[in-house]
């Protein structure tokens, strides 16, 4: 079962910040500066946590992972936007 997560991070060192950003690109959609929307299985969530855990300084940095629920349930209605409207990224399957 897949679950949607909102991941936000505050990393105090520029080098670690870039590394966390690069790691997160593999797990979700970049929404804003340090915010990602991730649609993950339990295994993918564990992999994401392990990847970030190895990068951050636990005394200086913070990563928040918010469980929004199933992507087809309430999670699809959790986002509210002021200013530019929020449009979820389209997922397209490419068959080669």
Give ∠ CA 37-41-47 in degrees, rounded to 5.
85
Domain extent listing, the chain = 3-73
Domain 3-73 has CATH 3.30.70.240: yes
Residue 94, pLDDT score: 64
Contacts of 28 (CB under 8 A, 6+ apart): 5, 7, 36, 37, 38, 39, 40
Residue 53, pLDDT score: 95
Whole-number average pLDDT of the chain: 87
- Assess whether pLDDT exceeds 90 at residue 43: yes
Q: Any bridge partners for residue 4, and if so which?
A: 39, 69
């Amino acid at each position: 079962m897949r679950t949607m997560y909102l991941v936000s991070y505050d990393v105090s060192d520029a080098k670690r910040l870039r590394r966390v950003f690069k790691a997160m690109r593999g797990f979700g959609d970049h929404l804003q500066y340090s915010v990602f929307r991730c649609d993950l299985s339990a295994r993918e969530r564990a992999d994401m946590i392990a990847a970030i855990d190895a990068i951050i300084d636990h005394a200086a940095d913070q990563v928040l992972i918010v469980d929004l629920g199933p992507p087809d349930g309430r999670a699809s209605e959790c986002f509210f936007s002021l200013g530019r409207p929020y449009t979820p990224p389209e997922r397209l399957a490419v068959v080669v």
